Amino acid sequence: MIRRRPPLVAPTPRRRASEPVVPMINVVFLLLIFFLMTAQIVPPDPFGISLPEAAGDTPDEAAPLYISASGETAFADLRGDAAVRAAAEAGPVNLHADAALEAVALARLLRDLQEAGADTVQIVTLPGAP
């Protein structure tokens, strides 16, 4: 008859089933979504700001088209309508408009650029106050 020896190490007792974690994870995600939806990431402006100060992307490195407060346009060494046509043909237009330029004159220039074939016009502005 073969005798069995007792094990050298006692068997580990079975652990009781742990508490379910999934409901706690659900509650944490619901709270996260709630706080993301209700938080103000950027505080609202206290009042409207007037351009040309604006935050935005940096303009491409293209030759700029300048327009003065009186409506005179310049592109490289060209002036007037020739400057508008040359800027439109050069590709994306970086428009450096004076802050005192009337909106009607700016709208007229944008229409002239579109008629001359400009696809993209970027109005270059100063960075806004933080």
pLDDT tops 60 at residue 126: yes
Determine contact, residues 113/121, Cβ cutoff 8 Å: yes
pLDDT tops 90 at residue 29: yes
Neighbours of 124 (CB within 10 A): 16
Q: What is the mean pLDDT of residues 83-95?
A: 83
pLDDT tops 80 at residue 30: yes
32-71, pLDDT tens digit by residue? 999 888 887 755 544 343 445 555 555 556 667 888 777 8
First-to-last alpha carbon distance for the chain, in angstroms, is 91
What pLDDT was estimated at residue 50? 41
Ramachandran angles phi, psi of 80, nearest 5°: 70, -145
CATH topology of domain 64-123: Nucleotidyltransferase; domain 5 (3.30.420)
Report the sign of the C-alpha dihedral through residues 120, 125, 127, 130, in that order.
negative
Question: What are the angstrom distances between the C-alpha of 40 and each of 44, 77, 107?
Answer: 8, 48, 35
The two tokens of residue 11 are 């068997």
> For a pLDDT cut of 90, what percent of the chain falls above it?
8
Instruction: Tell which residue, 73, 49, 70, has the closest CA to residue 121.
Output: 73
Q: What is the mean pLDDT of residues 96-102?
A: 80
pLDDT tops 90 at residue 8: no
Instruction: Tell me which of 15 and 59 has the higher pLDDT.
Output: 15
